[in-house]
Amino acid sequence: MGMSEKQYSMKEAMLFSQRIAQLSKALWKSIEKDWQQWIKPYDLNINEHHILWIAYHLNGASISDVAKFGVMHVSTAFNFSKKLEERGLLQFSKKENDKRNTYIQLTTQGEDILIRSMETYEPDGNAVFSGALPLRDLYGKFPEIIEMMAIVRNIYGDDFMEIFERSFHNIENEFTEKDGKLCKAEKTEEELA
């Protein structure tokens, strides 16, 4: 069989593409509404909150890193980062060995807002979480959506997924639960040394 011969029909291809598009759009609409409600008290929009999240997990990200991992245009990443800088939540810098790229770093105030937003996360007000809860009740765990992750990996690459995983690994290691709320874990003497 030649390389140009397809292993799928046009109908199959179109149905799959449209199924993913419709599901993604429906999910995003719900996620967007929940995310906006969650961060409303901090006077942030979704892009700004996402940039703070990326800056926290990448610790010294370039604007192009923010664009790549935030799935946004470079000008969007720069403009919203600039707004965060004006509010004192981010600071911009250049590196001695890399004058072309602009880097961002969370300020103490920026980290405080991000941590507070994480501490006030309320799962009951999250439609996607609530929608997945019956599956968790049935199977004893949340869906891992491994097929979706494989699709994203094939589109955005290993770097993207590495950062994606790192951010969740960081939360796993750096946060604890106290009285039903998420809070930043205290560093031990060993970790501070």
**Is 7 domain-assigned?**
no
pLDDT digit string, tens, across residues 16-51: 999 999 999 999 999 999 999 999 999 999 999 999
Predicted pLDDT at 192? 53
Report the chain's mean pLDDT, rounded to a whole number.
Answer: 91
Structural domain includes residue 18? no
Q: How many angstroms separate the CA atoms of 161 and 155, rounded?
A: 10
**1 pLDDT more than 70:** no
Identity (one letter) of the amino acid at 5?
E
How many structural domains comprise the chain? 1
pTM: 0.86
82-106 mean pLDDT: 91
Identify whether 65 is part of a domain: yes
Q: How much is the average pLDDT of 100-105?
A: 91
We report the CATH number of the domain holding residue 76 as 1.10.10.10
169-187: per-residue pLDDT in tens?
Answer: 888 888 888 888 888 888 7
Residue 56 inside a domain? The answer is: yes
Please report whether residue 66 resides in a domain. Answer: yes
- Which residues, other chains included, contact 51 with Cβ-Cβ below 8 Å and sequence gap of 6+? 66, 70, 77, 80, 81, 84, 90, 104
Number of Cβ within 10 Å of residue 53's Cβ equals 19
Residues 6+ apart with CB under 8 A from 10: none
The Cα–Cα gap between 145 and 150 comes to 9
Q: Tell me which residue range forms the domain holding 41.
A: 25-192
On whether residue 46 sits in a domain, the answer given is: yes
Compare 53 and 97 and report the one with higher pLDDT.
Answer: 53
